């Protein structure tokens, strides 16, 4: 048993974007950041995503299996803000003179979720008596990304159908196996399928608007950071 003191860790609250659930969270610790750094060094997107989800799981008091991709991005940036600092320094190029090293300061406390849909926009009428309610993919969705592109999209759509209304009957995805839901999707016509994919491809994202002036030529730039890659890569 260690005789050394443990430093008290502060706790904060925030709201999960997709559910509006108020949750408690704490900064991530050195041992948790180490997992993230190893993942970043690998440059493997799946390993990086897994590391971020692990950090959220141990630092945020919520059911991580119910989180969407944009929840993960938002929660992770909030965790980074209280763990490392709200300011990120990055360098951006100039469209006019090709100067590459314009220092831009990003304030993570100003990020927001954009393109968020109301629940009614996630209800899609396929026929006069068939309606589906969809959700964006959850981190818990067991989606095989080794599928060919066309099959992968069908698999994603099947995972995103939350409820199916057929006349007076209602079928929940919790009660229907993924194989049966995928068979339903495969039997849609192209127009019906495109109605669903149009909504799913227009996914909400974490964004931030920035303005900066080139230190070399003075040209002013308007920039939107969009998703984790823009914030860190």
Which one is predicted more confidently, 119 or 29?
29
**Looking at residue 17, what is its pLDDT?**
93
Query: pTM of the entire structure?
Result: 0.81
Q: Is 136 exposed, middle or buried (0-12, 13-18, 19+ CB in 10 A)?
A: buried
Same domain, 185 and 229: no
The CATH number given to whatever domain includes residue 60 is 3.30.2220.20
Same domain, 20 and 75: yes
Please list, in sequence order, all residues whose beta carbon lies within 8 angstroms of the beta carbon of residue 36, skipping any fewer than 6 positions away. 28, 48, 51, 52, 55
**pLDDT of 142 above 80:** no
The predicted-structure confidence for 92-133, as pLDDT tens digits, reads as follows 999 899 899 999 999 999 999 998 887 778 899 999 999 999
Whether the Cβ atoms of residue 173 and residue 181 lie closer than 8 Å to each other: yes
The backbone torsions φ and ψ at residue 191, rounded to the nearest 5 degrees and listed phi first, read -65, -40
| Average pLDDT estimate for 71-82 | 94
Same domain, 63 and 168: no
Give the domain extent around 216: 86-115+205-233
The backbone torsions φ and ψ at residue 41, rounded to the nearest 5 degrees and listed phi first, read -65, -30
**Average pLDDT value for the chain:** 89
Angstrom distance (rounded) from CA 78 to CA 108: 7
**pLDDT of 46 above 80:** no
Three-class secondary structure of residue 143 per DSSP = coil
Please list, in sequence order, all residues whose beta carbon lies within 8 angstroms of the beta carbon of residue 149, skipping any fewer than 6 positions away. none
Overall number of domains in the chain: 3
Query: Which run of H or E residues covers position 42?
Result: helix 30-42
128 Ramachandran zone, left/alpha/beta (phi>0; psi -120 to 50): alpha
């Amino acid at each position: 048993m260690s005789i050394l003191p443990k430093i008290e860790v502060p706790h904060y609250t925030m709201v999960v974007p997709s559910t509006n659930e108020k949750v408690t969270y704490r900064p991530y610790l050195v041992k948790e950041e180490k997992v993230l750094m190893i993942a970043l060094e690998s440059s493997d997107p799946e390993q990086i995503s897994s590391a971020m989800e692990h950090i959220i799981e141990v630092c945020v008091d919520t059911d991580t299996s119910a989180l969407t991709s944009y929840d993960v991005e938002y929660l992770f940036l909030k965790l980074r803000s209280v763990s490392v600092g709200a300011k990120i320094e990055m360098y951006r190029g100039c469209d006019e003179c090709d100067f590459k090293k314009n220092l831009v300061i990003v304030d993570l406390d100003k990020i927001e979720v954009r393109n968020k849909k109301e629940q009614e926009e996630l209800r899609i009428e396929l026929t006069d008596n068939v309606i589906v309610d969809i959700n964006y993919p959850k981190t818990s969705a067991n989606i095989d990304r080794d599928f060919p592109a066309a099959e992968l999209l069908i698999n994603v759509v099947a995972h995103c159908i939350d409820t199916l209304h057929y006349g007076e009957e209602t079928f929940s995805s919790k009660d229907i196996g993924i194989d049966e839901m995928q068979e339903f999707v495969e039997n849609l016509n192209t127009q019906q399928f495109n109605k669903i994919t149009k909504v799913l491809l227009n996914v909400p994202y974490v964004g931030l608007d920035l303005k900066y002036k080139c230190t070399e030529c003075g040209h002013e730039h308007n920039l939107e950071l969009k998703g984790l890659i823009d914030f860190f890569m």
